[in-house]
Structure 1
Amino acid sequence: MVTRSGDVMVLRRNRLTIPWWVSLLGVLARWVGRAAWWFLRRPRTVAVVVGAVWVRSEFGWSGLLTPVVLGLAASAVWRWRHPASWWLWCGGPVLGWWRQIVVYRRAWREAMTLCGLAKTFDHRPVVPGLLSVRCDEALDIVTIRMLRGQSPSEFQKVTEKLAYAFGRRHGRVYAERLEDPPNRSGRYAWAWRLVDRVRFRDRPTVVYLVLVRTDALRSIVAPFPAPEVPDFTALPLARREDLRIWCLHLLATHVLIGGATRRGKGSVLWSLVRALSGGIASGLVRLWVIDPKGGMEFAMGRPLFARFASESFEAMADLLDEAVAVMRERQQRLAGVVRVHTPTSADPLVVVVIDEMAALTAYLQDGDLKKRIANSLGLLLSQGAGVGVLVVAALQDPRKEVLPFRDLFPTRIALGLTEDSQVDMVLGDGARARGARADQMPRWAKGVGYVILDGTPDPLRVRFSFITDDHIREMAGTHPAPVEAADILAQVGRETAPEPRRPSPRPRSKPLLPKALLDALDPHQRRDGETE
C-alpha cells in the first residue's frame, strides 16, 4: 500500500486482518498440542493419575487408600528381604521420578545457563535436555542429551560447578553407561538379551552426570572376607560410592598407588595382602616385599612374605635382580606356549610390593645402586606382567624425576594428594577434569581415593578397607608363606633370620700397575706356586 504525504511517498505492508475467533482457536490448538506432547512423554505418570481417578470414582476413598497401604506394606517387606532388587525396580525409579521433578527440572535451565552449557541458536537460547534421573542407595544418575556441537569434555570441565549447582559436593560425568550388560542365563535369557540390547545400546548423543546424594564412604570399611582361592581378576579391596564392592583386576597388570603421608596407602597395600592371603598359604602367590622405612610398615606381617628386605638397599637391589631372573626364566619357558601366565602352586604368581618407591628411585645416595634398581624396575614393569611377575608400588611424590616410568603402570590409584597437578601425574592427563578431586580430600577421608583401570578413562571413587594390627597378626599366624618349595621362590625369610647380604655382582676393578712391577715393589709378594 502506497501513501503520499506531500512530496514523500511511504510504503506500508498490507495488514492481514484475522478474526478474533481464529486467533483463539490457534491458541487453544497450541495448548492442546503441548498437553498431548507432555502426556506422551510421561506415560507412567498419566497412567497412575488416570487409574487413581477411576478407582476413586468407582470405589471411593476407601477403595483408593486400601491398595496404597497394601502396596506400601509389600514394598517395606521387599526392601527388608532384598534391598538390592528393591532399589533397582521400585525405590530407585520412584525416587528418581520425584527428584527429577522437584530438584532437577525446577532449576535445570538456570543451572545449564550459569554453568556455561547453554547455547544460542537462531537468536534463541537452547539448553541440553534432561532425559531421566535414576537413583540408587547413594547416587543420582542424570541422563543428559547434549546439544549439537557439544562433546562430553565440555560437561567434564564443569563437573564441579554442576555438582554444587544441584546442592551436591561430589560429581562426575561419564560418556558411556556406567555398568556393563549382565550375563543372562536360563529359559528366558534370549528375551532379556533383547531388552539389554536396547537398554545398553551405544548413545553418543548423551552423557551421564553422577551426583553423590548420600556419601557412603564416610564410614570406615571393615575388612572383606579373604577367599581361600583368590580370584586374581576380582580381588575385593574397597567399597564404591554406590555401596557395591570394588574389585581389583591384578592379573597381568602393575599397580601404582599415589598419596600424601597419612592418607591411607597402608590400607590399600594391606587390603591387597589380605585378599591374597589364601593364595599365600596354598603357595599360589609369593609376595616379595621391599620396605625402605626399616620395616615399620610390613615387618609385622613378615611370615606372609616369601622375600623381605627392609634394611639394606643392596638386599633390595638383589631382590629386584632375582625377580628379573624369574621373569627371564619364565619368558624362555613359556615363549610360544601361552601369552599370559596362569598362576599355579608349582609356578606361582610373584607380586613385588614396594612401599615408598621414591626412596629407591630418587633419594638413594649410591648412584650405581640407584641405576641398578632403576634398570631392574624398568625391565619388570615393561615385561613382567605377562609372565606373572607383578609390581605394586606406593609413593608420595609422583613427579617424573621421582618416578620416571610411571606410565608403565596400567592400574593407578590416587589417594589424598597435596596439589591439583599431582592428580594428573598419578591418574593421567585430564583425570582431574573428569572428576578425580584427589587434592580436595577432607581430613576424615583416609583410605578414600580414585581408581583408574587400563583402557577406562573415567575415575571411580572408592574407600579401601581398614586393616588393624590385630588383623595383620591374625593373617600372619593363619596364612604364613610355605617354607618348603623346590624353585627359586623358596627363599622364605622368617622374623629371626637376617636379611640376605650378597656381594655386589659388579666385576672387581683391575690394578692400574702391571703384575711384574707390583712384584718388584713388594719383595714379600708370594709368587705362583709358592707355599709358606
Structure 2
Amino acid sequence: MTSGGDLLVIRPKRFVLPMWLVVLGVVLRWLARFCWWCLRHPVAVGLAVAAVVLYAEHGVLGVVVPLVLSSAVSALWRWRDEASWWRWCAGPLLGRFRHVFVYRRAWHEAMTLCGLAETYDHRPVLPELLRVRSDQALDVLTVRMVRGQTPADFQKVTANLAYAFGRRHARVYSERPDAPPTRTGYWALLLGWVDRVRFRDRPTLVYLVLVRTDALRPVVPPFDASPVPDFTALPLARRENLGTWSLCLLATHVLIGGATRSGKGSVLWSLVRALAGGITSGLVRLWVIDPKGGMEFAMGRPLFARFAGTSFEAMADLLDEAVTVMRERQTRLAGTVRVHTPTEADPLVVVVIDEMAALTAYLQDVDLRRRIAGSLGLLLSQGAGVGVLVVAALQDPRKEVLPFRDLFPTRIALGLTEAAQVDMVLGDGARNRGALADQMPRWAKGVGYVILDGTPEPLRVRFSYVTDDDIRDLARRYPAPADAADILAQVGRKSTPEPVRTPLPRKPSGPLLPDALRNLLDPNGGSEPR
C-alpha cells in the first residue's frame, strides 16, 4: 500500500533477447563484413581459392610449382620491362603490404599527434586511409578527410607527417599527383572512359606522398639534345619517382633562386642543352648576360647569338634591344595570334641572366640600374606572348633586390639559407606545402623544388649535371648560325602602321593663373624677354 507523500518508482518491463538471436545477429554481421571484404579484394580472394583448390587436388606440389613458375615469370618481366613490372605487379603488392603492416598500425597515433583527429559527439573522428600505392621510391597514400577539413590542414603538418611515419620528405596534393595516361590503339576509347572515373575530381580526398627511398641522391647525367626541341616539354631533371621532369618554356618566364654552390648552373646549362637542337637550326636565339665577367657562360659562347659579360652598359643595351624586338612583334602580330609560335624566320628569343641581383640591386650607377629595371619590367610583363622570354637566376630573393619577382610564372627553388626565402621564391605557403629548400643536405647540388603556374603543390626534382667537357662538346656540335645576331633586322620589316588619330578640337581658354600671380612668378617681372 502507498500513502500520500511516498515515492513511487515505476520500472518498465525489460525486454531480453534470446541468446540464440544475439549470436545469430553477430554471425550475420561478421558474415556481411566478410562478403564486403571479398568484393573489395577480388584478387586476394581468387588467389586464396586457387591455392586451396590446388592443394586439395595435387597436395603440396600443387602450391609450390605455381609459386616457382610465377616467380620465374616475375623475374623475367622485371628484366624485360621494370617500369611496367612495378606498375602492375610489385607496386600493388608492396603497397598492400605497407598499408596493412606499416601505415594502418600507426595511423591512429600519427593522426592524433599531428593534430588531424577531430571530435564529434564525444567520439574521436580520424581521416580514413583508403589506399596505398607504391613504386620504386614513393608511397602514395589516398586519404579521405574528415568532414570540415581541407587539404591546407594536411599541408601545414607535412613535415610532421613525414617524421611520424619515419621519413624525411613528404608532400600533400589536393589532386592526384599523376596525370592520366595518353591512350592509343583499339582500346583507347574504353580505357579513356575508365580514366575519367579513375582521375575524376574528388574534393573529399587528399594524397600524401612519402619518399621511401631518395632517388635523387645519384648525380643525374645530361639528357640527350633533341634536334627539334619541344618547347612545351624540355627534359631538365629527374623526379622522385624516377621519371623525367620537363619544363614548359613556351609563353612563360623562369626564376631560379638558390644560395651559392646550390646548383644554379645545373639548371641553366640543362636548359641550354635541351634547346641546343633549336639553337643550331635557328628556332631559338639565346641572349646571355653574365655579370660575373663570363665565368659561368663564356665557355659556351658559340651557342649564343648575343653575349654580354663585362660591360654593364652592354647589358643594358642588350635588354633595350630585346624590348625593341618585343615591340616590333607586338605591332606585327596584334590581331593575328595571341601566343607566338617559333619559326626559323621568327625564332624564340630567350634572355638568360645569371645573378640578376647584380643588375637590379648591386649596380652602383643609379641611372643604369633604373634603365635595366625598366627594360626587365617590360619584358616580364609583355614579352611572354610574343616569344621574348626571360630566364633569371639569383641568390637573394628579397623584394628590394627583385621587385618584380611576381611576374615569373615558373619558379625553381634550390638550396636556400633561410626558411622565409622559400616563400619569397615559390610564393606564400610553399614551405608549409612541403618545399623544404632551406633544409637541403650537403650532397644536394642541383636538387630543388619547382612551382608551375596554376599548381600550388611543389615538386622535388634534381637537375642534370653538365660538365665542362659536355659544355665544350655542346658548343662544338650546336653552334648558333652565323647570322644569329642580326635578329634586330626584324624591326625593319614592314608591319601594320599605327592609325593616325586627328586631334580633337579644343575650345580656346584663357590663362590658368591670374595676371598678378603670373607677374609675381615671372623672373623678368612680366616684361617681354629681349
**Same fold by TM-score greater than 0.5:** yes
- Matched position secondary structure for 2:184: coil
- Matched position secondary structure for 2:59: helix
2:238 match: 239
Q: CA deviation at 1:375?
A: 0.3
Change (3 A) 1:3 1:373: farther
Q: What letter is aligned with 1:39?
A: C
Distance in 2, matches of 1:37 and 1:479, equals 62
Distance in 2, matches of 1:387 and 1:26, equals 73
Change (3 A) 1:487 1:22: same
Q: What letter is aligned with 1:181?
A: P
2:439 match: 440
Change (3 A) 1:486 1:224: closer
Distance in 2, matches of 1:204 and 1:20, equals 45
Q: CA deviation at 1:33?
A: 3.6
Distance in 1, matches of 2:319 and 2:209, equals 42
TM-score normalised by length of structure 2: 0.89
Q: 1:3·1:10 contact (CA, 8 Å) conserved in 2?
A: no
Distance in 2, matches of 1:47 and 1:155, equals 37
1:530 match: none
- Matched position secondary structure for 1:476: helix
1:199 match: 198
Q: What letter is aligned with 2:294?
A: G
- Matched position secondary structure for 1:50: helix
Q: What letter is aligned with 1:371?
A: R
Q: CA deviation at 1:440?
A: 0.8
Q: 2:305·2:485 contact (CA, 8 Å) conserved in 1?
A: no
Written as runs of structure 1 = structure 2, the 5 A alignment for 1:15-34 is: 15-34=14-33
Q: What letter is aligned with 2:317?
A: D
2:39 match: 40
TM-score normalised by length of structure 1: 0.89
Q: CA deviation at 1:8?
A: 4.8
2:376 match: 377
1:130 match: 129
Change (3 A) 1:42 1:5: farther
Q: 1:483·1:490 contact (CA, 8 Å) conserved in 2?
A: no
Cα-to-partner distance string for 1:26-85 (whole Å, 9 max, x where unaligned): 443443343334333333222222221121112211011111111111111111111111
Q: 1:286·1:489 contact (CA, 8 Å) conserved in 2?
A: no
Q: CA deviation at 1:23?
A: 3.5
Number of residues of Structure 1 aligned to a counterpart in Structure 2? 490
Distance in 2, matches of 1:344 and 1:355, equals 26
Q: Aligned pair 1:317/2:321, yes or no?
A: no
Distance in 1, matches of 2:70 and 2:103, equals 27
Distance in 2, matches of 1:5 and 1:56, equals 80
Distance in 2, matches of 1:189 and 1:104, equals 35
Distance in 2, matches of 1:19 and 1:3, equals 36
Q: 1:306·1:490 contact (CA, 8 Å) conserved in 2?
A: no
Q: 1:3·1:11 contact (CA, 8 Å) conserved in 2?
A: no
2:229 match: 230
Distance in 1, matches of 2:335 and 2:260, equals 45
Q: 1:257·1:395 contact (CA, 8 Å) conserved in 2?
A: yes
Cα-to-partner distance string for 1:190-236 (whole Å, 9 max, x where unaligned): 11112111111111111111111111100000011111111111111
- Matched position secondary structure for 2:66: helix
- Matched position secondary structure for 1:209: strand
Q: Aligned pair 1:81/2:119, yes or no?
A: no
Q: Aligned pair 1:255/2:254, yes or no?
A: yes
1:168 match: 167
Distance in 1, matches of 2:137 and 2:460, equals 13
2:526 match: none
2:70 match: 71
2:332 match: 333
Cα-to-partner distance string for 1:109-156 (whole Å, 9 max, x where unaligned): 111111111111222112111111111111111111111111111111
Distance in 1, matches of 2:49 and 2:141, equals 27
1:494 match: none
Query: Which segments of structure 1 move beyond 4 Å, counting only runs of 4 or more?
Result: 2-14
Moved more, 115-124 or 395-404: 115-124
1:281 match: 280
Cα-to-partner distance string for 1:245-292 (whole Å, 9 max, x where unaligned): 111111111000000110000000011111111111122111111111
- Matched position secondary structure for 2:85: helix
Q: 1:216·1:242 contact (CA, 8 Å) conserved in 2?
A: yes
Q: What letter is aligned with 1:467?
A: V
2:503 match: none
Q: 1:139·1:242 contact (CA, 8 Å) conserved in 2?
A: yes
Q: 2:305·2:484 contact (CA, 8 Å) conserved in 1?
A: no
Distance in 1, matches of 2:5 and 2:18, equals 35
Distance in 2, matches of 1:25 and 1:307, equals 85
1:368 match: 367
Distance in 1, matches of 2:409 and 2:21, equals 69
Distance in 1, matches of 2:372 and 2:386, equals 20
2:459 match: 460
Q: 2:398·2:421 contact (CA, 8 Å) conserved in 1?
A: yes
Q: 1:254·1:411 contact (CA, 8 Å) conserved in 2?
A: yes
Written as runs of structure 1 = structure 2, the 5 A alignment for 1:211-230 is: 211-230=210-229
Q: What letter is aligned with 1:28?
A: V
Distance in 2, matches of 1:128 and 1:237, equals 37
- Matched position secondary structure for 1:418: coil
What is the identity percentage for the equivalent residue pairs of Structure 1 and Structure 2?
A: 74
Written as runs of structure 1 = structure 2, the 5 A alignment for 1:93-112 is: 93-112=92-111
Cα-to-partner distance string for 1:295-321 (whole Å, 9 max, x where unaligned): 111111111111111111111100100
- Matched position secondary structure for 1:125: strand
Q: CA deviation at 1:13?
A: 4.9
Distance in 2, matches of 1:444 and 1:12, equals 77
